[in-house]
Amino acid sequence: MAARAHVLVLLVLLALASAAAAGGGRHPHQHRHRHGGKSARLRLIPSAPGASLADRARDDRHRHAYIRSTLASRRRAAEVGASAFAMPLSSGAYTGTGQYFVRFRVGTPAQPFVLVADTGSDLTWVKCRGAAGSPPDAQPPAREFRPAASKSWAPIACSSDTCTSYVPFSLANCSTPASPCAYDYRYKDGSAARGVVGTDSATIALSGNGRAGVGADSSRRAKLQGVVLGCTASYDGQSFQSSDGVLSLGNSNISFASRAAARFGGRFSYCLVDHLAPRNATSYLTFGPGPEDAAAPSPASAPAAPEQTPLLLDRRMSPFYAVTVDTVYVAGEALDIPADVWDADRNGGAILDSGTSLTILATPAYRAVVAALTKQLAGLPRVSMDPFEYCYNWTAGAPEIPELEVHFAGSARLLPPAKSYVIDAAPGVKCIGVQEGAWPGVSVIGNILQQEHLWEFDLRDRWLRFKHTRCAQ
């Protein structure tokens, strides 16, 4: 009986195999492939048929480690891309400079530095030892970057496209294609930095809830790879005596702002504390969502929406951020300033610059603003004080300072506090805190006029947003 059953099963299997062969091996419910119904078959065989289970288990562990590492790196990358990060920002008044300083960590292992936050720079650099051309008898700075001690430092060749096309003030001498990319960076105030360029990683503190500073979690750190970094062997300039270098926030392919913003929502923001604030009064430079993107408050306590105006990312103005000024008002009266002064196409225009302290206005704008302000302050005794043209003895009285308003394209209005344009220059002395610039020429909105405002540079959608706020944390 059992033998007959086995024979019957064998006959059934042979019949099924014959039917499958007659049907081209195709299941009756399968659809014919659009290319003639043919299919390719590849035999799957074990790579090591005689491998033991122990060998297979070992191979599985190696593969699992690879999978885990790959997914972990992708998750970290996704986390970095979806978060924000913030860097403490403070006034450099305690050093006698008009700059704002930011704390920056670069290299592997990370080395800490204090850099000037500069929207007018396209090259980030730090004071450095061991760079080509370092003077052997130079006095070492208090903090110095040592590229040889960083596992992630990689020199950029002088023949590379980055060096020849994007590094500002790169030097033409290139003894061999692999020689380091050298620079002699010149600033408009006469200061300079000289060294070589490479790339390295920056260590950043993630802030998951997107609130500038408040959400920063020092325990959640990430590496921002491929930061273009100048290793400066020699430098000139007063502000560089008090800092370790410059953090580039300008509009440039190689600036830290452009690289970091590309990874964090396409935008960055900063809030400048009072320029005379003490060293411990800090705010934050933030990449990614800022305070305005925090959890929405109740309608009753909702803050006013920030002002916004188009951000002009014009190559002719690079690395600076330009905006269009429509009208300037003093004491509610529109000033008669030629439209050409604010027109970049006619050798005018206006930029925001965190690296410039005093606001500089092209001659026609300067004369109109100063005439309107001095008219209101005419009753006060004049005082001479460089570099200002109009200073007053404030102990003789405290008149009401006329309101200054700057209207930008798109109906955005900047109403700075009076201390931002009639500034404290000495005990009992106030000065009109603007300077005259050449005409034709660009006007510069300096960091004193920007103080106590949150400024967001939306590089992706090309908007500048701002609002008056308390910056100190």
Maximum CA extent, the chain: 127
For the question of residue 386 being annotated catalytic, the response is no
Residue 318 token pair: 């690079």
Q: Which residue has the tokens 């206006």?
A: 350
Exposure b/e, 310-320, CB count within 10 A at least 16 = b: bbbeeeebbbb
Does the annotation count 353 as an active-site position? yes
3-class secondary-structure state, position 228: strand
The C-alpha atoms of residue 360 and residue 365 are separated, in whole angstroms, by 9
Whole-angstrom Cα distance, residue 375 to residue 384? 18
Catalytic residue (choose from 326, 353, 424, 461): 353
- Cα–Cα distance between 226 and 420 in angstroms, integer? 38
For the sheet with 359-362, list strands across it: 321-323, 350-352, 443-445, 359-362, 434-437
Angular region, 355: left φ>0, alpha ψ -120 to 50, beta rest? alpha
Catalytic one of 55, 60, 118, 343 = 118
- Side-chain half-sphere exposure of 45, counting CA atoms within 13 A: 6
What is the rounded CA–CA span in Å between residue 134 and residue 145? 13
User: Which residues does the annotation mark as catalytic?
Assistant: 118, 353
